[in-house]
Amino acid sequence: MLSQRINALLPQTQCTKCGYQGCEPYAQAIASEGAAINRCPPGGHEGIVALANLLKRPVVALDTDCGTHQPLQVAVIDEQFCIGCTLCIQACPVDAIIGASKLMHTVLPEQCTGCDLCVAPCPVDCIAMVPVKPARTWTPQDATRARAHFEARARRLAQRPESLRQSPDNGTPNASASSAIATQDLIAADHTEKQAAIAQALARARARRAARPAL
């Protein structure tokens, strides 16, 4: 299948810089919609050449509206300012961040794809992208491993409970749905509590930053 062959040439960083929600949707758009082959900054010029050869299209320059090709980077969390909000964990497409609510988070550098999707959600700006040391390039083996982590995460998320269903006869919630409603109420209450905890943690983090001596 053409989209699978295209996907095999993409870096599997799942960064969404191409404008699609991951490498596979981008591959499908190239195969079925004629999407441009130059929208993948992590793949860079070499990726464009590989796609052009496969599809018998001309080689074109990277679309810089999608970003620029950068040396391989990984995310690093400044753990002294991490408030344990879990937003970066939720954003990471390959489960490269470990931690728990109200506890310090940390990045698994060998699993990080450098997608930087965790940076923007962080409410205390404690995540930075830094060059990999020693410097190296992203390899096909890296892509294979990243794709495996991404697909494992997708399977895990797919196992979550389905959204509420209505009874087929009268449109009112059935017994199962009523139980689900109670569960949703608990989730909402937990969300409210989490938001309050995040606000308090933000205040503490800002206070620590303000008290830190200037360099």
- For residue range 157-185, what is the model confidence (pLDDT) as tens digits? 998 776 533 433 333 333 333 333 333 44
Q: Given this model, what pLDDT does residue 202 score?
A: 60
Average pLDDT over residues 134-149: 96
| Contacts of 100 by beta carbon, 8 Å cutoff, 6+ apart | 84, 86
SS3 call for 93: coil
User: 124, 105 in Cβ contact below 8 A?
Assistant: no
Residue 97 neighbours by CB distance under 10 Å: 22
Give the pairing type, strands 127-131 and 73-77.
Answer: antiparallel
Q: Which residue has the tokens 């009523």?
A: 178
Beta strands in 16-148 (DSSP E): 73-77, 97-98, 106-107, 127-131
Element (DSSP H or E) covering residue 157: helix 140-158
| pLDDT of 113 strictly over 90 | yes
Mean pLDDT over each residue of the chain, to the nearest integer: 84
Percent of the chain with pLDDT over 90: 69
Q: Is the pLDDT of residue 205 over 70?
A: no
- Residue 151 backbone dihedrals phi, psi, to 5 degrees: -70, -35
The SS3 of residue 71 is: coil
pLDDT at residue 160, rounded to an integer = 78
Within the chain, how many helices (H) and strands (E) appear? Answer: 6, 4
Query: Can you give the pLDDT at residue 140?
Result: 95
> Rg for the chain (alpha carbons), in Å?
21
Average pLDDT over residues 40-45: 97
pLDDT of residue 28: 97
More confident residue, 12 or 195: 12
Q: What is the pLDDT of residue 172?
A: 34
Tens of pLDDT along 70-108?
999 999 999 889 999 999 999 999 999 999 988 899 999
| End-to-end alpha carbon distance in the chain | 56
pLDDT the model gives residue 36: 98
pLDDT(130) > 60: yes
Q: Which of 116, 125, 73, 66 is nearest to 92 (CA)?
A: 116
